[in-house]
Amino acid sequence: MELYKQTFPLMMSIAVRFEKNREDQLTAVHNAFMKMLKSIEQFRVNASFEGWLLRIVRNELIDAYRRQHKLSNIEFTELKNEIPIADFQIEILENTAPSQLLDIINTLPPASKLVFNLYAIDDYSINQISEELAITRDTVKWHLKTSRKILRETLANLKNPEHEINS
């Protein structure tokens, strides 16, 4: 249990970005933890434990997504009031609380959220995401673009509630 207590924050920090419900987050964390215990013999002593554990959690989350959704069936979301990237004020993001930002990220469509998380937070390349999720590079780019648009609009709405989002 000591190991669990120590690794829990790290595992949970990823799970909260991918899953909306706490129940799903915990399921993913627990599954990853059990996988880690099962395959602890495969861990090389000179490698980074954190990196290894994060990879297990990420793979578990991707697998969970695969079980629930089909990546090929993407619903393209049209935005009504699109804000050009140049017009977005970075100060809005700076002034947003991390927990609020997490809630906004969780409003993204599942496929877009997965791609955005992997690219922006977990430093995956477009090629890696494309291979991992078996989708084309263009689809990955589209998801990134869509995610950023939704996030910018939602953040702008926090400042100026006149904007409407069709999500």
Partner 1 sequence: MKSTPKQFDQLIKEKLNSLEFTSQASDQELLKQKLHAAKSKANKQTGIKLLLVIGICASFALMQRYFKKGNLQYFKVQEISSALPYLASEAAAFQPKREVGSESQATNMPELIAHFQQEPNSTPALFEKLQHLPKFPHGKISLNGLDEIQAPAIDQLVKYEGKFLQEAQTSKQKTLICGQSEDGSKLIVAQSKVAKFKADSTLSNNDDFGVYRPSGLQEDAVIQYAVFDKKTLFKRFQFEQIHHGIRTTKIAKPQKAEKVKTEKNKEADALHTSNTTPNLHVHPTRQYLETEYEEYTYYIQNDSILFISDRVNYVVIMTPDGDILSKAQIVISEPYMYYLGEKTAFFDQATGKVYLSVSTLYHFNIYELDPNNGQTNFLISLDDVWPDPNFSVVNGVLHYRKDNKAFQQQLRP
What residue ranges bind partner 1 (CB under 8 A)? 1, 4-5, 8-9, 12-13, 16-17, 26, 30, 33-34, 85-91, 93-94, 96, 98-99, 101-102, 105, 119-121, 144, 148, 151-152
Least Å distance, CB 121 to partner 1, is: 5
Token pair belonging to 98: 């991390």
**Which residue's CB is nearer to partner 1, number 21 or number 46?**
21
3 state SS of 109 = coil
What is the full DSSP assignment across 11-64? HHHHHHHH-SSHHHHHHHHHHHHHHHHHTGGG--TTS-HHHHHHHHHHHHHHHH
Write down the least CB distance from residue 68 to partner 1, Å: 19
CB atoms within 10 A of CB 44: 8
Cβ at position 113, least distance to partner 1 in Å: 12
Instruction: Please report, for residues 54, 59, 75, the alpha-carbon distance to residue 130 in angstroms, rounded to integers and kept in the order given.
Output: 19, 14, 18
For residue 90, the minimal CB distance to partner 1 (Å) is 4
Q: Which is nearer to partner 1, 45 or 97 (CB)?
A: 97
Distance, CA of 10 to CA of 26 (rounded, Å): 13
